[in-house]
Structure 1
Amino acid sequence: MKKERQATEGLVGLIPRAGALAARAGLDWFLLALIGMILLAWLFPELGVDREPLSLGDVANYGVSLIFFFYGLRLSPGKLKAGLSSWRLHLVVQLSTFVLFPLLILPLRSFFEGGEQELLWLGTFYLAALPSTVSSSVVMVSIAGGNIPAAIFNASISSLIGIFVTPLWMGLFLTSSSGAFDLGSVMGKLVLQVLLPVVLGIVLHRYWGVFAERNKKKLRIFDQVIILLIVFTSFCESFARDMFSGYSLLDLTALGAAMVGLFFLVYGITSAISRLLGFNREDRITAIFCGSKKSLVHGTVMSKVLFPDANIVGIILLPIMLYHALQLLASSVIAQATARKAGWEATGE
């Protein structure tokens, strides 16, 4: 009995330590909630499909516009101006985000064309065409000791560029394969649902910007709840139509391994380019962390517009969800290691 009690106490004692370790690695409640939403959608797909008494999909649509309105409120013109001068750094980050990623994935299309894994390739290509993250990029750059004003500028401008560039990449692919992609309609929806709220938020920044900054933690929780709702309804549609029946655990494991490989490949290429261009340490850190990230927020939001067939959206979102989790894990470890190395060099140890 005594041994059992000691074992139980030891297990309980491990919980807070495991929680702290998970938090340091980027495994916050949001990533666990994402897994929970998928599990819930698998168990009760009808909750996200039924429109009575309330359509969760419609709630998510309205929430998307609010996400980007609050995002615009938090965009400080002063911080953006502070990062304007490093044009070579900005060019490397944006080319990595919107050119390097897609060009790495595009040649692989022929290996998956016509098979059940084609949707996974499409989701991976969609991931490659997405803009960079905002908050996590700036946080990692800050931890590693990089150029924070440039990180804020690049993360923010990437979100705006992605509203136009992501549909262009996807339009090129979807039009050539199906001929059913209406680029003008898609751009119009994104302008109304995403760009217009951002612009409105920027205009009102001078009045409500302080409020938004003061409540940024609460607004971030709101953002995450809407994303969870989108993920839940998307997977409900896919599970209800039995869209995952053709994919094995091995397929999903291979996809996860491919996401890890993609992250480190882009990370290595961006790092090499930064060194060739003679970037200092701070700019090199910013280029690496901003240029290797992808935004789950934009991925979930744009999927509702770019892929009108709700049945496939759950599968399309799998790569970006895996990449999101893995990029947080990897970049968190790298950022902390970079910060420790800088400390050692500063003290001469």
Structure 2
Amino acid sequence: MKIDKFVLAIITTVFLAYLFPQWGAKSSPIPLGLIGSLGIALIFFFYGLKLHPDKIKSGLKNWKLHVVVQLSTFLLFPLVILIVKPLIHSEHTEMIWLAFLFLAALPSTVSSSVVMVSIANGNIPAAIFNASISGLIGIAITPLWMGLFLQQSASDFDLGAIYIKLLTEILLPVVLGLLLQRFLGKYAAKYNKQLTLFDKSVILLIIYKSFSESFEEKVFTSVKLIDLLFIFAADILLFFGVYYLIGFLAKKLKFNREDQITAQFCGTKKSLVHGTVFSKILFPTTMATGVILLPLMLFHATQIFIISVIASKLGVEENK
């Protein structure tokens, strides 16, 4: 199995943030925050350019599959995390729990979902529809989930101000992209690889800034090796728990093989793009976003590896 290049890039970025935190610190003369905000707006503008209205309309037909995927993404994941809430007793574990709730409340991701479904010979049009529509739903749902708990733990959390940021930095660029899709959509499709590289570069920039600030403020002194092992183990348990629950639901609803693959692959994905963007907007400056992003980044690497193995196996079985 090849290690995903983006996962390696994330590891390298975190290491650079550890070695040179001063470039991304709050006192840095380099305006990484402003650059990140402009990058986010462009990511979602290009996202709007890629969303073809005709594909969205045709995708609505397979509604049972879409309902399963979206409920898994925005309801099943958070409910699993809420079940363990009564076990939280300290401020340290409360922060890790919030990080997992943030992970659970995020939308699915487009590119890797579609690629993996394709390898496994699943329902590709449904994968494209679900992953695309998930990003739009997440703009409304993710802040609501986080608002239920962040308002209790952070006095400077303002849901109204957050939605204004989401509207200006995310929704407005998406709508603008959709409006210009008929004129510029062909260019977005033509230069899709370059746009994907741009997306990942912006995400790496945000990760660098988040971790630089955390290293500069010595936030990770409270994160021990045992915590990292716990987060990694919890990510694996969370993934497989949701994966098999979706599989059980798919069988009960009598999905065919292609739809079951799509449901399980898209329903267990969590978007690192949305996660890094939302962490910049949702969490108050008093909270360490580096720690908040840890479970998400480990989950991202884990899900890519596990789904790659499963997809390859299913693809081979189908081609026999």
Q: TM-score range by the shorter chain?
A: over 0.9
**1:283 Cα deviation (Å)?**
0.9
Which amino acid is the alignment partner of residue 81 of structure 2? I
Q: Among 137, 140, 144, which residue is 1:161 paired with?
A: 137
2:78 corresponds, among 102, 123, 139, to 102
Whether the 8 Å contact between 1:131 and 1:294 is mirrored in structure 2 is yes
Q: Which runs of 5+ in 2 are unaligned?
A: none
Of 53, 63, 86, 1:77 maps to 53
What are the residue-to-residue correspondences of 1:1-349 with 2, within 5 Å? 21-22=1-2, 27-49=3-25, 52-178=28-154, 180-309=156-285, 311-344=287-320
Aligned to 1:8: none
The verdict on how the C-alpha distance between 1:115 and 1:50 changes in structure 2, with shifts beyond 3 A counting, is closer
Report the CA distance between 1:134 and its aligned residue: 0.8
Query: In 2, Cα distance between the equivalents of 1:211 and 1:340?
Result: 34
Does structure 2 conserve the Cα–Cα contact (< 8 Å) formed by 1:82 and 1:149?
no
Does the CA-based 8 Å contact 1:270-1:288 persist in structure 2?
Answer: yes
Checking the alignment, whether the CA contact within 8 Å between 1:237 and 1:311 is kept in structure 2 is no
For 2:142 and 2:76, how far apart are their aligned partners in 1?
13
Kept after mapping to 2: 8 A contact 1:92/1:287:
yes
Q: Larger deviation: 268-277 or 43-52?
A: 43-52
Displacement of 1:179 after TM fit?
A: 5.2
Q: Quick one: distance in 2 between partners of 1:73 and 1:178?
A: 36
1:270–1:287 contact (8 Å) kept in structure 2: yes
Indicate how the Cα distance of structure 1 residues 281 and 314 shifts in structure 2: closer, same or farther if over 3 A, else same.
same
For 1:48 and 1:161, locate their aligned partners in 2 and report how far apart those are by CA, in whole Å: 31
Shift of 1:315: 0.3
User: Cα offset for 1:178?
Assistant: 4.2
The share of aligned pairs that are identical, in percent, is: 54
Judge which range, 241-250 or 297-306, deviates more: 241-250
1:310 Cα shift? 5.8
Displacement, 1:50? 5.1
- Displacement of 1:271: 0.5
User: Gapped runs of 5+ residues in structure 1?
Assistant: 1-20, 345-349
8 Å contact from structure 2 (residues 24, 30) kept in 1: no
Q: Per-residue deviation at 1:146?
A: 1.2
Q: Is the 8 A contact 1:234 1:311 kept in 2?
A: no
- 1:91-141 CA-partner distances (Å, limit 9, x unpaired): 000000000000000122232342323211111110000001111111111
SS of residue paired to 1:49: coil
Query: 1:218-266 deviations in whole A, cap 9, x for unaligned?
Result: 0000000000000000001111111111121121011111101111110
TM-score by length of 1: 0.89
Corresponding letter in the other structure for 1:80:
I
Is the contact made by 1:133 and 1:294 (CA closer than 8 Å) also made in structure 2? yes
Task: Indicate the residue corresponding to 1:16 in structure 2.
Answer: none
Amino acid at match of 1:335: A
SS in 2 for 1:244: helix
8 Å CA contact 1:134, 1:152 repeated in 2: yes
Which stretch of the first structure deviates more once superposed, 144-153 or 297-306? 144-153
Given residue 303 of structure 1, which amino acid in structure 2 is its aligned partner?
S
1:245 partner SS: helix
Q: Deviations over 1:39-78 (max 9, x none)?
A: 1111111110155542112111110000010111111122
Higher mean C-alpha deviation, range 77-86 or range 260-269: 77-86
TM-score for the superposition, normalised by structure 2:
0.97
Aligned length: 320
* Contact 1:241 1:311 (C-alpha < 8 Å) held by counterparts: no
Contact 2:50 2:188 in 1 (8 A): yes
Q: Is the 8 A contact 1:304 1:310 kept in 2?
A: no
